[in-house]
Amino acid sequence: MSDRVALITGGARGIGRAIALSLAAEGWSVAICYRKSKKEAAETLESIQSKSARGM
């Protein structure tokens, strides 16, 4: 597990999602927050976790 942690606002879709997935691929622990789409946030979180990264 990495000691690097990122909080991505707007992480459920678009640029925020791309940043979150990129950091997860590099081994960062990633926390995302979203405002509208719970479904997209859940999909992003699943993608983060599939990269063996810690996501919340």
pLDDT tens digits, one per residue of 20-36: 999 999 999 999 999 98
Task: Assess contact for 24 and 11: CB atoms under 8 A.
Answer: no
pLDDT at 19 over 80: yes
How many Å apart are CA 39 and CA 25, to the nearest integer? Answer: 21
- Assign 46 a pLDDT band (cuts: 50, 70, 90): very high
Q: Which residues of 7-41 are buried (b: 16+ CB within 10 A; e: fewer)?
A: ebebbbbeebbebbbebbeeebbbbbebeeeeebb
DSSP state of 53: -
